[in-house]
Every structure is written in structure tokens, then in C-alpha cells.
Structure 1
Amino acid sequence: MTADHATRPRDLRDDSALIQQTLTPQSRELGGAIPRKQHDGAPVATDGSPFAKSWAHFIAGGLGGMASATLTAPLDVLKTRLQSTYYQQHLAAMRTARGLPPIETMSFARSALLHIRETGEILWQVPKAEGWRALFKGLGPNLIGVVPARAINFYTYGNGKQIISNKFNNGQESAWVHLSAAACAGVITGTATNPIWLVKTRLQLDKSIHADGRGRQYKNALDCVMQTVRKEGVPGLYRGLTASYLGVTESTLQWTLYEQMKLYLAKRERRVAESGLPLTAWDQTVAWTGKLSAAGVAKFVAALITYPHEVVRTRLRQAPLENGRMKYTGLTQCFKLIFREEGMAALYGGLVPHMFRVVPSAAIMFGTYEAVLKMLGSSSNM
């Protein structure tokens, strides 16, 4: 014992020890305390272990996915139909009847305006011909897919980001950390939930009355699964998986852009606080809507760049033709066949309703995710 320590008042030493015990290191990612080590080096079991609040990401992601999917279901149905072969052929026939040239020969501006007009017409015709419930076709399996998919994705990403940064980047956030965590989360989520998306797609494309007079092909989601397995085997449930993996580029880009914009917002908030100036109306607007806007912008950019994979994925998940053969048999073959038969414009079929859906959907989902994490005493920040 040193002389200085011996002469220090007992109550001051006791208070100092108490403060040191109280200031337990905190995990910046999950908001919990990092466990201290005992004298023998074993970690102390506490409620704040690194994974003590990892469930918060799972719950927040699931609730965010459920809210966004329910509120934007009509646009999802519309997007899926516009991506399919049947509706593209229907629209081509309508253009011919009106005396319009093929859409691939039109200028970009004219084809874009025509696409918006046709999107509005189909959105009006679906409830008129099939009832308003048709706008929510596939919502059941969609929710069954969205809730676990978003829960798995947010859980894998949130914890993956922490593990990668701690193991390989000295606990610091960076773009490559976000990118790596997002890619891992996308692959795991796509593999786990592909059968659910296949059923959702086929139910959304199943019309009340087909061109040959047949009624609905599937009674419900379970019947769709049974028919798919019986006719195509278990691998049939994983049709479109390669396109889903291609879609990992979209989710990866979205997460990376979102995280970079969040870092910018955090830096801006610090600058405003350090300036000591009163908050302006713009500062308050950014504080309330910054993360929602970041989520929407990130999704818009990512979806616009990677959209063709959405069309290919929908085509690969379509039910077999009347003769039992599959028109689209693989990723490359599907890309080539669509381009050869329908032109480049077909690879962007359904883009307008897709954008109208995914941008607010992303804002709703990420906003719900951040809000639920806050309610559960956790955070998405490291």
C-alpha cells in the first residue's frame, strides 16, 4: 500500500471503488453492459452480455416488416402482376389495339409516361373486376414471409455488424463493415424464406378466371405448396433462389447507404449541438425525419440500380405452363429470353408501383425498427 493511498480518507476510497463498480463498460451496438471478468479470467454472467439484447433486433425487424407490408400490400400486388408474362402480354395487346407502336421503340420519356398510365389503369381495374380484396392477395403468406425475413435480416445484420467490427476493425464502423454484414444477412434471409416468397408470387398471379376459362389454380397457400411439391418436387419451392441471391446486392447497397447517411446525420447533430446556437425549423425537421428520409432515399437508389433482378425473380417463380414445362429455367436464360422477346423495357415492368411501394415501405420499416429498438432500451448504433 502506498503512502498516498494510506492517507486517503476511508469514505473517499469507498466512494471511488463504488463508482468504479458502477461504471460498467457499455456495448455501443446493443446498449447492454459488457461483462466484467472474474479474477480467474472467466466472464461474469450479467444481463448485459453482448447478446443479451440481440433479441431486440429480431423483434424490431419483425414488427417493422409487418407494418410496412400491410400498409403497402396493394402496390405489391400491382407490381407483381406487372412483372409477370401474362400482364406484359395483356398490355402489349392493349397497345396494339390502340394503334400504339411497341414500347421498346418509343423514346424513354414516352415509354415512362405510358408505363405510369398503364399502372394506374390496372390499379383501377383490379378491384373493379375482382373486388377490393384482390388488392391484398398473398398478404397472408407475405406476412408469414416478411415477419421472419425482416426479423432474421435485422437480427443477422445488427449482430453481424458488431461481430465484424469487433473482430476485424477495432470496434469501429466503416462502409466495408456495413457491406459485409448486409451481404451475410441477405444470403441467410433469402435462403431461409424463398419458399414463402414463391407461394406469395404464385397466389398473386393466380387470377379468378384465366384466358382459357379455368378458375383459380390454387385454393390457398397450403394448396399452392402441395401442388408445387407434387408437380415440381421440393426443389420447386426454391425456384428463383439464384435471383434472390442476385437481389442481395440491393439489400447490401441499401444498408450501406442508410448507414452512411446515419453517420452524416449524427455528425450534423454534433455540429449543431457544439455550435450552441438555437435550433432552427430545419434542424428540428432533420432531427424528426432524418432517419426516415435516409431509409427512403437509400431504398430508392438501391432499387433503381438493381431492379431487373426483381422481374427475373418473379418470372422464375411463375407456375409451369399448361404442358408442365417451365418457360424460364435459369437466371441467365431468363434474362436473355425476356430481352429477346420483350425488349429492355420489360426488365423494368412494374417499376413505378414498385417505387411507390418500396420507398414508403422502407421508411415505415426502418422507422418502426428504430422506434421499437428505442422502446426496448437498445440502439442500432455502435
Structure 2
Amino acid sequence: MSDIEEVEIPNPSLIPSQSWKHFVAGGLGGMCGAIVTSPFDVVKTRLQSSLFQNHATVGVINTGGAAVVGMPRQPGGLLWNFVETGWILRDIYREESPRALFKGLGPTLVGVIPARSINFYTYGNGKQIIANRFNNGEENTYVHLTAAAIAGIITGTATNPIWVVKTRLQLIASRHESSQRSLGGSWSMIKQILRNEGIRGFYKGLSASYLGVTEGTIQWVLYERLKKMTAGTQGQGSVQEWMGMLGSAGAAKCVATLITYPHEVIRTRLRQPSVNGVIKYSGLIQTLKLVIAEEGARSLYGGLSAHLMRVVPNAAVMYSIYEGILRWGN
């Protein structure tokens, strides 16, 4: 009787081993980045909102239960936008208190941590699954693009209610309103939205969020490509290696933002509270047409400077922590 050699046939599981690392690393990276750049997020939200654009001086605007501080608006180029960002940071600090620079940070963290965890988990594991199942285990641009798009749709759907609450909180001038602080203010805002707008109110701006999936897709694809281009820095010392990684993350985010930024403005407008009971922005196309008709196409880039000052370092911090945890865990 001849010996028959048993051959073990690999049976890879659907979810890659140690997939949880992507979830943890993404959440920690997102948390650290959000805390560091929170003041710029407040400025960006206010510059995107129409509630702040037609007031020559700082003042309180009645929005039917929510008061917001108007910001000075003057014509100028890109350099002026960066100067304006600094002035707005100063005015918020003086007029509303230093705490106002971190307004909405509670719901931001509540949103960022699961959003980044979901996004990095879905993308990090998704690209491996797609490559193994459909591309003989090899990653390429199409694999990265598909995984990033799926991750963006899942993340946007799951976390949209949190971003609605965060946006509403950032549009409230709460210098004397202790109730509108941190998670306590978040709970009050949740009840207010539910009472006035119902469940649908938490999904305002979702269409613009889906449009914004293109930003995350472009960012991931560019990051993967730039990371390969800087792969030669690996083994040349920790400083060069990490600088290559930081540069890849920052550059990918910058390019993706410049290409897709108008969806940010449209999404903020859709999430604005009603003014004297009137909802001005009701849909994606309606908002786009109305903004261009009333304010010009240039307004679709309102708050871009503050946004870039926030998201570029945010991406660098987030991706470096993400990559660091993945490498440390190996």
C-alpha cells in the first residue's frame, strides 16, 4: 500500500487575520487629529455657512432658537483667506471664550472615532479581500479605488447623524449658554432636531456626503501611490521614513480636498438650522444652483483655507498613527 502525501489546501477566511488592528488604529489616529485641529474645524464650518457671510461686523443672528456670531467678510485672494482665518480664530477667542474654539468637539470625537475606525477597518480589510478574491492577491489602483468607495459609503451612512449635530453646535454662539457645551449640548441638540425635524433631520446632507465619497476615494488611491513612490525611504532611518509617510498623507489629502471641496460647502448648507422657520436649502441640486445664483461659484470654496489648515495636518497625524500601530503590532 503506497503512502499518499496529504496536501493541505489553504482556505483563507473572508476577514483577514488581525483585522481589528485597522479598527483600533483608525480610531486612535482620527481622535488625535481631531483634537489637534479642532479650532480650524469651527472656523471652516462658519465660513461655509451662509449665516456668517452677509454681516460686516460681528453680531448675533437669530436663527429661530439658535444664535450665531456673524463674521466679517471682505473680498480678497487666497492669502487673504489665510489672514481671515487667523482673525476669525482671534475673534472667537475674544468674543466667545477659548472654549468656543473647541465647540462641537464632543460630537466630533463621537463621530470621528467610529467614522475613522469604520473607514480604516473597511478599507484596510476590504482591499485585501477584493485583491484575494478578484485579482489573484495583488493590489492595484482599481482594488484601492473600489475598497475606498465602499468604505466611504458605509462610513457616511453610519455617521451622518453625528455630523449633523456637530454642525448645528458649531453654528451656535454659546458664550453665555452653558447648556450648549460638550456632550450635554449634544444631547440637547439631538432632542431639538428630533422634535423639530424628526428622524429625517439627522440625515440632512447625506446626499452631499455620498458625493464626498469621491474625496476619500481619491485620497486613498493617491496615498497608496505616493506611499509606493516613497517606499525607497524605508530602511534609511526612522526620520526619512516617517517624513515620507507624512508627506504622502498630507499631499494626498490636499489634492483630494482641492478637487472635491464644493461638496463640503453644500453639505454644511444642507445641515444648517432653519431661519425664522424657513429652510433655505432643501436638496443637493437646489442648494448648488441657489449658492451659485446668489453668491457666485467662488462661494463654493468658502472656508477652504481653514479647511486646508485643518485637514492636511490632520491627515498627517492620523495616517502616521495608523501606520505606526499597524507596524508596531506586526
Aligned residue in 1 for 2:220: 255
1:257: how far off? 0.1
Rg (Cα) greater in structure:
1
**Residue 187 in structure 1 maps to residue 153 in structure 2:** yes
- Of 210, 231, 237 in structure 1, the residue corresponding to residue 196 of structure 2 is 231
1:206/1:216 contact within 8 Å kept: no
CA gap 1:287/1:235 in 2 versus in 1, 3 angstroms: same
Q: Tell whether 2:114 aligns with 1:148.
A: yes
Q: Quick one: distance in 2 between partners of 1:148 and 1:231?
A: 27
Q: Cα deviations across residues 264-315 of structure 1 (Å, max 9, x unaligned)?
A: 222x358xx8xxxxx6xxx875323111110000000000111111111111
Match 1:113 to one of 79, 83, 89: 79
Q: Which residue of 2 aligns with 1:127?
A: 93
Deviation at 1:112, TM superposition (A): 2.3
In the other structure, the counterpart of 1:327 is 280
Query: Which deviations, in whole Å up to 9, do the C-alpha atoms of 1:104-133 show, x marking residues without a partner?
Result: xxxxxx432332332221111001011100
Distance 1:320 1:50 in 2: 44
Gaps of 5+ in 1: 3-36, 95-99, 104-109, 274-278, 378-382
Partner AA of 2:197 in structure 1:
E
AA aligned to 1:125 is D
- Equivalent residues in 2 for 1:201-280, closer than 5 Å: 201-208=167-174, 220-266=185-231, 268-269=232-233
Q: Quick one: which amino acid aligns to residue 306 of structure 1?
A: T
5+ residue gaps, structure 2: 60-71
Corresponding residue SS for 1:297: helix
Query: Does the aligned pair in 2 maintain the 1:73–1:139 contact within 8 Å?
Result: yes
Separation of aligned partners in 2, 1:135 and 1:56: 32
CA RMSD, Structure 1 to Structure 2 (Å): 2.9
Q: Which amino acid aligns with 2:89?
A: L
Q: CA deviation at 1:102?
A: 7.4
| Distance in 1 (alpha carbons) for counterparts of 2:168 and 2:318 | 25
TM-score, normalised with respect to structure 2: 0.87
Residue 151 of structure 1, CA deviation: 0.2
Runs of 4 or more, structure 1, over 6 Å off, are: 214-217
What is the percentage of aligned positions where both structures have the same residue? Answer: 53
Query: Relative to 1, partners in 2 of residues 1:118 and 1:247: Cα closer, same or farther, differing over 3 Å?
Result: same
Distance 2:96 2:58 in 1: 21
Shift of 1:167: 1.1
Decide whether aligned partners of structure 1 residues 57 and 320 sit closer, same or farther in structure 2, where only a CA change above 3 A counts: same
Is 1:304 the counterpart of 2:258? The answer is yes
Give 1:227's aligned amino acid. Answer: Q
Residue 49 to residue 304, structure 1, CA distance change in 2 (3 Å)? closer
Counterpart of 1:167 (choices 112, 116, 133) is: 133
TM-score by length of 1: 0.76
CA distance in 2 between counterparts of 1:306 and 1:132 reads 31
